[in-house]
Amino acid sequence: MTTYDVAVVGGGIVGCAVARELSGRTLDGRRLDVALIEARGDIGDVTSKATTAILHTGFDATPGTLESRLVRRGYELLSAYAVVAGIPVERTGAVLVAWTDEELATLPKLASKAVSNGYDEGLLIDADEVYRRVPALGPGAVGGLVIPDESIVCSWTSALAFATEAVHRGTTLLLSRRVTGVDVGEVATILHTDADDITARWVVNAAGLGGDVVDRAFGHDRFTVVPRRGELLVFDKLARPLVDHIVLPVPSPRGKGVLVSPTIYGNVMLGPTSENIEDRSATGTTEAGADFLLGKGRALMPALLEEEVTATYAGLRAATEHDDYVIDVDAQQRYLVLGGIRSTGLTASMALAEHVVELLADQGMATVERDDLPSVPRMPNIGEAFLRPYADGALIASDPDYGRVVCFCERVTRGELRDAFASTIPPSDVDGLRRRTRALMGRCQGFYCGAEVTRLLEESLASRGEGGGAT
Amino acid sequence: MTEQQQRDASAEVAADVRADVVIVGGGPAGLTAARQLARDLHVVVLDRETEAGGIPRHSDHLGYGVRDLRRVTSGPAYARRLVASAREAGAEIRTEATVTGWAGDRTFAVTSPQGRLLVRGDALVIATGARERPRSARLVAGDRPPGVLTTGQLQSLVHLQDRSPGTRAVVVGAEMVSWSAVLTLREAGCATVLMTTEYDRGESYAAWRGPARVALRVEVATRTRVTRVIGRDRVEAVEVLDTLTGQRRTVECDVVVFTADWIPDHELVRLAGADLDPATLGPRVDCALRTSLDGVFAAGNVVHPVDTADICALDGRHVAHSVRQWLRAPSPPPAGARILCDAPFRWVAPSLLAPGAGAPSRRRLLLWADDHRTTPRLVARQSGRVVGRRTVPWPVAPGRVFRAPWSLLDEADPADGDITIGLL
């Protein structure tokens, strides 16, 4: 049986970034052998798929925290990587809107907090300027703070790019394996999963919502994940002209509040709610959540509510009782935990991976970057602001399948579906196909193309010998 | 305009298509218009599906063609017939041709296997139809497992792909289309365990509802709403709220079909900035089916969401006449009096009384209602006075189009402001 150098538990955005980083390094001249273990049938299928997908400058982090530092660094790393890997990013900027005098008084403090976090581009604006930037904003705004570098990013492509590159670099991707127990030995640890046992010298816990469970399996009692459910409404693409910036409320002790933002796919998002819950799999939406968001939306941007809702979803943030990330190394157990990585995890992901390398070096596992790295994979573009196959005349001329639109609302072509099925990490269900291509995520939600897309997916699954069950 | 749209507008041209008339949508309205116009004009129909024919293509039951073809046929046979007669008349039907936006005046950007095309017509007909609001647009809470469908998706699953959706279904809605979903489910071996409707009785034709209910043995829960979908990997149940008592119950099922609640596919008219009717959400048209855009017409269910296929086809015939007239003597976009409606009516189409537009298709105004009336006494008012009254012997009922005689507006004046149609 293979003994991996490192087993990364958790194929979310953070685990994928860590696996990518580690498999790109050598220890004593030998390539690190990395396993990426995921409980679900696909990577990025839990928390990472249901974020607000904002690339944060970290302007509002708590200065001095690890989170503040890693978000700041992660912003730079992911921004640069996105260009190479073809991950769609739009630098829309954010406008924090003050609605009361109390909030207005908070804005300068936020601007100086941003400076403490290493961000000094914040710009205080008056109410007129707020409405000039966001004409559809509801009445009553009294001022604002502009953060020009807040951006929107495709979180799905990010996770997929990391995982794809990790596999290209030699990572063994082990899906559908939930870790059920741990045996720490003298030189290696056995991870028992519901499928098989995996042996590795080092274990990195990036298990997100299940991070505390894995941590306890190693005998620790450092944190408890209290899932914080965030529900979101996604409005029709016809609403997109209403808002060109991320519109944020002034954060309060009760949380970051409800935002309105363009999405990277050309829609408009309203949310999230914030609700601590017990059930770690409760990603259902609620009547109360929708009512709350519609109430907020009515005040924030009345015209938005005239538009159709295309999708609703809920994500669970892996919040803990701690204010900062919980990152720790146990040298004896050759075990490293990345806990409490909440909504900032997408932005911080690559910095977290870099941090893992530093922490391992501190434990005598000094690695160096490989000199034989494969080239960075170029991901298919699913961002609305960039050229997509249906609009690419040259591409269609080279292969007519890119001119065959299958999903009409999102304009996903047969060529893109085929590419997804043939990719390094192909989709295992409709949801995975949606995250790779945008198929079925549009306004009709399958009225026109649902049956055809499902058929193509099942054909692909059958040819890969994975059976059906994708209806 | 997003960058994508700007790129659409300046997309590289792989080929140019020019025609006298370009019709978007190869369903009953578009194909009938094409057949009427193609005898002496160059007509191009753009349809995004692999086969033209529209929704009837996957509605495999009888009842098509009554008013337009004067015969009773099945949906697929009807669709084939419409395609064949449009082709025979000389229309060029391009399938797998998706209009992605506008590329200038009366010019579409089109994606097709033949490339990115700019397609320009002297006159345009938008016949893009309507779709059912999916579960998400209705804000139904709960889990998001597979097995939550619309009638459209169910029908293509069963009729075009011969697949089974499940074994126990809850159908949301009790309109004609909902019963059609029940039939489709039964054909696929799936029992309908409950139909829900927010109205106080089932909406379909009374004459048909009784026997159908007995024959299909389906319970219709009136004044109820599906409020939650339960089941992580597969639908396990839905929660049903009784809107009268506030009580909730759980109904086990493995399929949920959201039927009716129609919205026009209005993207193209909206992107072009055409006037919309806020009640239908389709383009506002006059009786000649002219939109507020120069040389752009609309026909079928994009104008009235939704009426039957034969009525859409007759719209196609009607719009063909208007297009022909416009090509002979172009006139500016119509202006006149808006036609509005009061409760229990939700919308009226056409909704613009313009000079010179003549009578609407079949000399009927189409209205959608949210309540029942057995012998409706219609009244039309304009500028505070009654301009028309009619009592008709057919009922007003939710879930299907009510047809009012055009003579109701004989005395209305296009220059005298808003007209409102209601009941006495």
Give pLDDT tens digits for B161-208: 788 899 999 999 988 889 889 989 998 999 999 999 998 876 554 444
Identify the pLDDT of residue B203. Answer: 55
Q: How far is CA B71 from CA A288, B83, B301, in A?
A: 51, 17, 21
pLDDT at position A342, please? 87
Residues with Cβ within 8 Å of B397's Cβ and at least 6 positions away in sequence, in order, are: B203, B205, B206, B369, B372
Which of residues 165 through 224 in chain B touch A, CB cutoff 8 A? 165
CA nearest A140: which of A103, A106, A105, A107? Answer: A103
Note whether B113 contacts A397, CB cutoff 8 Å: no
The answer to whether B15 faces chain A, any CB pair under 8 Å, is: no
Residues of A within 8 A of B160 (CB-CB) are: 451-452
Q: Tell whether B261 is within 8 A of chain A (Cβ).
A: no
Complex-level ipTM = 0.93
Residues 418-437 (A) with a CB less than 8 A from some CB of B = 429-430
Check pLDDT > 60 for residue B122.
yes
Contact A451 B147 (CB under 8 A): no
Count of helix runs (H) and strand runs (E) in chain A: 12, 25
Q: Dump the DSSP string for A100-135.
A: SHHHHHHHHHHHHHHHHTT----EEEEHHHHHHH-T
Q: Do B131 and A403 touch (CB under 8 A)?
A: no
B282 in Cβ contact with B270 (< 8 Å): no
pLDDT at A454: 92
Report d(CA A293, CA A301) in Å as an integer.
11
Considering only alpha carbons, which residue of chain A is nearest residue B165? A471
B positions 49-108 inside 8 Å of A (CB): 49, 96, 98, 100
Minimal Cβ distance to B2: which of A385, A408, A413:
A385
A368 near B CB under 8 A: no
User: Does B146 sit within 8 Å of A403, measured CB to CB?
Assistant: no
- Is A391's Cβ below 8 Å from some Cβ in B? yes
Q: Residue A367: beta bridge partners?
A: A27
B139 touches chain A (CB under 8 A): yes
* Residue A176 contacts B, CB cutoff 8 Å: no
- Interface probe, candidates B139, B148, B255, B265, chain A, greatest A C-beta count within 10 A: B139
Q: Do B113 and A403 touch (CB under 8 A)?
A: yes
Q: Do B131 and A444 touch (CB under 8 A)?
A: yes
Q: Which residues make Cβ contacts (< 8 Å) with residue A162, sequence separation at least 6? A: A13, A16, A17, A19, A20, A349
Q: Is the confidence at residue A256, as pLDDT, over 90? A: no
Query: For residue A451, which residues of chain B lie inside 8 Å, CB to CB?
Result: 153, 156-157, 160-161, 163
Residue numbers of B between 295 and 324 with CB closer than 8 Å to A: none
Instruction: Select from A312, A392, A400 the Cβ nearest to the Cβ of B139.
Output: A312
Alpha helices in B94-175 (DSSP H): 151-155
Q: Which pLDDT belongs to residue B176?
A: 82
State pLDDT tens for residues B343-373.
Answer: 999 999 999 999 999 999 999 999 999 988 9
**Does B244 reach chain A within 8 Å, measured CB to CB?**
no
Beta strands in A220-330 (DSSP E): 226-235, 246-249, 259-262, 268-271, 275-276, 309-319, 326-330
Q: Which residues pair with B18 in a beta bridge?
A: B120
B231 touches chain A (CB under 8 A): no
Q: What is the pLDDT of residues B287-342, one digit of tens each?
A: 999 999 999 999 999 999 999 999 999 999 999 999 999 999 999 999 999 999 99
Nearest to A285 among B12, B134, B142 (CB): B142
Mean pLDDT of A45-49: 91
> What is the pLDDT at residue B214?
55
Q: Which of A233, A309, A447 sits opposite B131 (nearest CB)?
A: A447
The CA distance from B194 to B219, in Å, is: 5
Mean predicted confidence (pLDDT) in A216-239:
96
**Residue B250, pLDDT above cutoff 90:** yes
pTM for the whole thing?
A: 0.94
> Chain A: nearest CA to B321, how far in angstroms?
30
CB contacts of B116 in chain A (<8 Å) are 391-393, 396, 403
pLDDT given at position A254: 67
| Of the candidate ranges A87-101, A128-142, A308-322, B266-280, the one whose mean pLDDT is the lowest | A308-322
> Which residue do the tokens 């029942």 mark?
B372
The predicted model gives B141-169 an average pLDDT of 90
Instruction: Write b or e for each residue in B382-417: b if 16 or more Cβ atoms lie within 10 A of its Cβ, otherwise e.
Output: beeeebbebebeeebbbbbbbbbebebbeebebeee
Name the average pLDDT for chain A: 95
B221, B195 Cβ separation under 8 angstroms = yes
Share of chain A above pLDDT 70, in %: 98
Cβ pair A95, A245 in contact under 8 A? yes
For chain B, the first-to-last Cα distance in angstroms comes to 46
Q: Encode pLDDT of A320-340 as tens digits.
A: 999 999 999 999 999 999 999
A390 CB near a chain B CB, below 8 Å? Answer: yes
Cα nearest neighbour of A315 on chain B: B143
